[in-house]
Amino acid sequence: MQIKDHLREEQAFLSRAIIAALLVILVLGALVVRLAQLQVVEHAHYTTLSKDNRVKLVPLPPTRGLVYDRNGILLALNRPAYSLELVPERVEGDIDATLERLGEYIEIGEDDLERFHKLKRRKRRFDSVPVRVNLDLEEAAHFAVVSHLFPGVDIKAQLLRHYPFEEATAHVLGYVGRISRQDLETIEHSQYAGTSHIGKIGLEKTYESMLHGSVGVQQVEVNSVGRVVRVLEETPPVPGQDLHLHLDVRLQQIALDALGDNNGAVVALDPKTGGVLVLASKPGYNPNLFVEGISSKAYRALQGNRDNPLYDRALRGQYPPGSTVKPFIGLAGLETGTMRYDTSVYCPGFFQLPGHEHKYRDWKKGGHGLMDLDTAITQSCDVYYYKLAYEMGIDAMSEFLQQFGFGEKTGIDLSGESSGILPSREWKRKTKRQPWYPGETVISGIGQGYFLTTPIQLAAATAALANNGHLMSPRIVAFSETRPEYARTPLSSNDRPIPIQSQADWDDVHNALLHVVQGARGTARRIQTDFYSIAGKTGTAQVFSVAQEEEYIEEEVAKKHRDHALFVAYAPAEDPQIAIAVVVENGGSGSATAAPVARKVLDAYLLPRLYGEVAEPAVPRENPS
Amino acid sequence: MSLSLPDLGDLTPTDPNRRQGVLARIHLDLPLLLGLALICAFGSVILYSASGENAAQVERQLVRFGLAFVVLVGVAQIRPEQLYRWSPWLYVLGTLMLIGVLAFGDVGKGAQRWLDLGVIRFQPSEMVKLAVPMMIAWYLADKALPPASSRLAFAAVLIVLPVLLIAKQPDLGTSLLVASAGVFVLFLAGISWRLMGGLLALGAAAAPVLWLLMRDYQKQRVLTFLDPAKDPLGAGYHIIQSKIAIGSGGIWGKGWLNGTQSQLDFLPERHTDFIFAVLSEEFGLVGVVTLLLLYLFVILRGLYIATRAQDTFGRLLAGSLTLVFFVYLFVNAGMVSGLLPVVGVPLPLVSYGGTSLVTLMAGFGMLMSIHTHRKLLPR
């Protein structure tokens, strides 16, 4: 091994550095020679080319795919719209003065000015900036007469996204909005050349890549003022794919109407396919406002609204499931062998842990008396489930419930859903760093305590109960269609089978659910119908806890502290075609407010299917608010 | 105000810290700093025109300059011995993250370059641009130079591994920069010219291997790079328009904000990769030569700092970082003037964008650190 000779190495490095410096100078010199060749020797040639530069590339934006409901009704379309646009560079004189003069002919509001200035800052001065959008024909004609007074100001026609059902589909479809700086960081720029809008939320965002299509390009010859003289070459754009949904917008409207003045959510699924028939959240908002940029005042009003209309309750709202979880716990009791179908439990109106004073009360003050699984579901006895949960233990219970998707996202093809909470020893240790207490098992048995579910989760679990153990990820989109070939690509749901110990256990639970509606003492007997059979379960979720010795009296509690009303169901019971979950916020009891909502949706879906009645086609409302 | 006396241990009369005053005390090199600031200032003027007088865009770029200078000052405070110790760890970390990107990276704009660390999104290939020359310099510094051929072979492996990982993303521009950073260290370490030629031949031979590693759509992207006419949006169109912009600029240029090619929307990507053409059109040969002289000044100052460095590691690292800066300049200017194929490399310190800016400034921070943290060596 050589010994390090510092001086010699320094010398060697110096010579290499000098060679490097010389090389750098040589290469830069070559570069200058090249530039001089272009800029001095061939200058005249390139000046001519520059003056005659007539060939431009014009991007051709694709038209966005349309969205249809299951009956072929258009939910999202592209509508020609006129907008008044201004190119800052071409305006003679002061821009503000021009805007003020424009205001004498066409109404320009504060919101318009605000948007104009915001967009102008982001654009280059030879880009066109919208001043007013959605001009009607009369306004456009009015401006055309005086347009010669306003150089640099033009009427532009473009296709704008429009959602005819407004609020009814707002949370499902989401909306498109102008491409923002954040959007630019995640998209291929050339694909969006010439496109002004992009899916921001909801289906428009999840399916952006399919709806967008791909950009085309045109090589055009322009004259000296930049007008296109002829097209030299063209690659046409490929339009976005159309999406056909499982959603039935008529049902969606009926569900929202049925909720009345209450806030809440309704989710209905086809238990055979996992297709989403209804995904309604109330209140909603008008997505069309966002397409052309909502004014900050209107946006603040939406955000500040105490009913939170921007919040999608169906996917993100987390509610204690209350008694709607009882059929799942009952099934868990049977399948784990904790209880038999005919095991009797005496309900004195309360339950106590061995050696503890605390009374876990039943909703019925005097108690239900002797209960078995069927009567405990039918009459929704709490004490039975306190005892069952306590004997089964939290570990077996949460392991079983997890198979129905509680505590995790359903995997629906929309982003932003919440996962809810399935209480377990593990969950509590991780999030609260505390041990599990037996009392918490007891109240988990009636869907209270830490237990939280989303309406979509409840619907998916109910569908899995109805179809004998196939937990499917709900799907909004049934298939996509490529234009102009009209080739259809089905988008199927994934299916997670739940192992069945004994079919008899499942049948017992199915029967008990049928008795909830059809039985003489069922909690939901009020929604019974002669036309088909409904299996369901009511639920009431506490928002506000009542002290141990007090009583909950609905009339005395402020509306916002009133219990949430829940109802889950499937029908027809012998061959389920629809599974539904209803949450009515602060609705009081499940049987009084939530079950009738479900009945209306079931009627609307099943009667035409079972009896061939012709349903009125859905139409957008004039002013639904 | 603290009353404790500063450590005067190494403040001898010949100490540069004392001679050069305040800037040297915070470990900055005035000539280099001035050169960089002038390039950034000139760049902002060109950007204002290239962006279509978009003040917001220029403001954002100025904020990035500010941030990048903060990084430079911060890195300059790190002692070279510290950089030396970190080198292998940075290299290992960077290479692991490159593997991570391929495994779980975010696909941004069609290539997997980003690693999402929860709080920040991070481009490991940027870190590797610094880690590779550091690693090779570290590896070669402790033994006699020029390196024995076995050590050279290992160094070549150290270079090729991250280069292949980056090429697979695929990011050809960056893999080219990283490869050249490693090769420059070898060149400066004094390996023989014959070996140098051999290495270049090896690099050429590695190209088919690289090709085999790529997937079909990646190959397609490379083909488009090499044969611009295949691109429907026309990279060939880019080059034609860019040459017209440069040529029609002439000696004196058309004047600031008056370039018809750039202002009338003929020149694509004029504020990013093709900003050199905007400069050539509006400021002419005079403007271009001015900017090139500024770059040359920075490069020569960097090489001077390298020759004045006190140990082998500092010399090799400073020299390599400076020469990589030159490669940036040459690849971009060569592409815009039609001498080289279209490879996505920005014009250093001038093109709009922040990722490479921070890496470059961190590199210059290392140069300043090497130059200003001096110890007395027994001679």
Domain total in chain A? 3
- Give the distance from residue A88's alpha carbon to the nearest chain B alpha carbon, in angstroms: 11
In a domain, A623, yes or no: no
pLDDT computed for residue A159 by the predictor: 87
- CATH number for the domain that contains residue A577: 3.40.710.10
Domain-embedded: residue A622: no
A-facing residues of B in 66-125 (CB < 8 A) are 108-110
- A171-180, A213-222, B156-165: least confident range: A213-222
Mean per-residue pLDDT for A524-536?
91
Q: How many CB atoms lie within 10 A of CB B48?
A: 18
Give me the pLDDT at residue B115, please.
59
Catalytic hit among A83, A281, A323, A480: A323
Answer yes or no: A415 catalytic: no
Give residue B6's pLDDT band: very low, low, confident or very high (50, 70, 90): very low
Considering the domain architecture, whether residues A238 and A304 belong to the same structural domain is answered as no
- Could you tell me which of A61, A186, A310, A601 has the C-alpha nearest to residue B106? A186
In order, the DSSP letters of B24-35 are: HHTT--HHHHHH
What is the reported pLDDT for B197?
Answer: 85
* Last residue within a domain, chosen from A245, A274, A295: A245
Whether residue A365 lies inside any domain: the answer is: yes
Question: Which residue matches tokens 């089978």?
Answer: A497
Which residues in chain B (139-168) have CB-CB distances under 8 A to chain A? 143-146
Residue A607 included in any domain:
no
Q: CA-nearest residue of chain A to B267?
A: A56
A241 lies in the same domain as A374: no
Check whether residue A237 and residue A256 sit in a common domain.
Answer: no
To which residue do tokens 């504060």 refer? Answer: A110
B283 at interface of A, judged by CB pairs closer than 8 A: no
CB contact under 8 A, B333 and A56: no
Rounded Cα distance between A169 and A252, Å, is 8
* Residues in Cβ contact with A117 at an 8 Å cutoff, skipping those fewer than 6 apart: none
Nearest residue, CB atoms, B285 vs list A40, A121, A187: A40
Residue A125 in any domain: the answer is yes
Cβ atoms A328, A401 nearer than 8 A: yes
Chain B residue closest in CA terms to A31:
B334
Range list of β-strands (E), A153-203: 153-162, 175-178, 197-201
Domain membership of residue A66 as a residue range? 57-245
Per-residue tokens: B105 = 């990276």
State the distance between the two ends of chain A, measured CA to CA, in whole angstroms: 87
Handedness of CA B30, B32, B38, B44 (dihedral sign): negative
Residue A80 shares a structural domain with residue A183: yes
User: pLDDT tens digit string along A309-349?
Assistant: 999 999 999 999 999 999 999 999 999 988 888 888 898 88
Is the four-CA dihedral B149, B151, B157, B160 of positive or negative sign? Answer: negative
Task: Using the 3D structure, point to which of A227, A245, A263 is the last residue of a domain.
Answer: A245
Q: Which residues, including other chains, have CB under 8 Å from residue B292's CB and lie 6 or more apart?
A: A28, A31, A32, B333
d(Cα B191, Cα B205) in Å, to the nearest integer?
A: 20
Share of chain A above pLDDT 90, in %: 48
Q: A47-54, long-range: CB within 8 Å, 24+ apart, which pairs?
A: A47/B247, A47/B248, A47/B250, A49/B244, A49/B247, A49/B248, A50/B244, A50/B245, A50/B247, A50/B248, A50/B260, A50/B261, A53/B241, A53/B244, A53/B260, A53/B261, A53/B264, A53/B266, A54/A221, A54/A222, A54/A223, A54/A229
Whole-angstrom distance, CA of residue A623 vs CA of residue A348: 53
Domain shared by A113 and A132, yes or no: yes
**Three-state secondary-structure class, residue B133:** helix
Output the pTM of the full model.
0.68
The CA–CA distances, whole Å, from A363 to A351, A366, B15, B226 equal 12, 9, 87, 76
Q: A355: how many CB neighbours lie within 10 A of its CB?
A: 5
| Chain A residues closer than 8 Å to B52 by CB | 123-127
* Domain identity same for A28 and A66: no
Distance from CA of B212 to the nearest CA of A (A): 26
Q: Do the beta carbons of residue B155 and residue B147 sit within 8 Å?
A: yes
According to the model, what pLDDT value does residue B292 have?
A: 96
Do residues A268 and A463 lie in contact, with contact meaning Cβ atoms separated by under 8 Å?
no
Using CA coordinates, name the residue in chain A closest to B330: A28
Nearest CA among B34, B16, B20 for reference residue B364: B34
What is the pLDDT averaged over residues B17-25? 67
Tell me what pLDDT residue A141 has.
85
User: Per-residue confidence at B257, pLDDT binned at 50, 70, 90?
Assistant: confident
How many Å apart are CA B212 and CA A118, to the nearest integer?
49
Cα dihedral B347, B351, B353, B356 in deg (nearest 10): 20
Q: Are residues A178 and A253 in the same domain?
A: no
Instruction: Indicate whether A412 and A471 sit together in one domain.
Output: yes
- Whole-angstrom Cα distance, residue A160 to residue A197? 9
Most confident of A166-170, A220-224, B2-6: A166-170
Instruction: Find chain B residues with C-beta within 8 A of A24's C-beta.
Output: 296, 299-300, 303, 323, 326
Mean pLDDT of A217-238: 76
Q: Do A43 and B306 touch (CB under 8 A)?
A: no
- A192 secondary structure, DSSP code: G
Phi, psi of A67, rounded to the nearest 5 degrees:
-125, 125
* Residue B4 pLDDT grade (very low, low, confident, very high; cuts 50, 70, 90): very low
Distance from CA of A187 to the nearest CA of B (A): 6
Residue A49 lies in a domain: no
Please list the alpha-helical segments (H only) found in A305-437.
Answer: 313-316, 326-335, 373-378, 382-392, 394-402, 425-432
Whether residues A170 and A253 share a domain: the answer is: no
Statement to judge: residues A74 and A211 lie in one domain: yes
- A300 inside domain: yes
Residue A16 has, within 13 A of its CA and on its CB side, a CA count of 26
Q: SS3 of A11, please?
A: helix
Contact A17 B280 (CB under 8 A): no
| Tokens standing for residue A506 | 């499942």
Question: B297 and chain A: CB distance < 8 Å anywhere?
Answer: no
Say how far apart CA B357 and CA B361 lie, in whole Å: 6
DSSP-derived 3-state class of residue B69: helix
Q: At what angle do helices B149-167 and B80-104 cross, to 10 degrees?
A: 40
Q: At what angle do helices B124-141 and B312-336 cross, to 10 degrees?
A: 140
| A39 to B285: CB separation less than 8 angstroms, yes or no | yes
Nearest in space to A204 (alpha carbons), one of A309, A290, A316, A265: A290
User: Whole-angstrom Cα distance, residue A422 to residue A402?
Assistant: 7
Q: Rg of the Cα trace of chain B?
A: 22
> From CA A463, how far away is CA A38, in angstroms rounded?
73
Residues in chain A: 625
Predicted confidence (pLDDT) per residue in A423-472, tens digit:
999 999 998 899 999 889 999 999 998 999 999 999 999 999 999 999 99
Q: Residue A163 phi/psi, 5° resolution?
A: -115, 100
Considering the domain boundaries, does residue A318 fall inside one? yes
A306 and A239 share one domain:
no
Look at residues A245, A280, A299 and tell me which one is the last residue of a structural domain. Answer: A245
Beta pairing, strands A74-86 & A264-269? unpaired
- Chain B residues within an 8 Å CB radius of A36: 285
- Contact B175/A at CB under 8 A: no
Q: What is the DSSP string of A72-94?
A: S-EEEEEEEEEEEEE-GGG--S-
Q: Which of residues 187-216 of B touch A (CB under 8 A)?
A: 187-188, 190
- Do A334 and A221 lie in one domain? The reply is no
Which pLDDT belongs to residue A245? 95
Q: Where residue A143 sits, what CATH number does that domain have?
A: 3.90.1310.10
Q: What is the pLDDT of residue B235?
A: 55
Query: By C-alpha distance, which of A458, A427, A456 is closest to A441?
Result: A427
| pLDDT tens string A269-279 | 999 999 999 99
B143 contacts A43? CB cut-off 8 A: no
Q: Residues of A with CB below 8 A from B244's CB?
A: 46, 49-50, 53
- How high is the pLDDT of residue A359? 87
Test B285 with A2 for CB contact under 8 angstroms: no
The answer, for B280 touching chain A at a CB cutoff of 8 Å, is: yes
Count of CB atoms situated within 10 Å of the CB of A447: 26
Q: Tell me the pairing of strands A477-482 and A74-86.
A: unpaired
Task: Please report the pLDDT score of residue A6 as a whole number.
Answer: 80
What rounded mean pLDDT belongs to chain A?
87
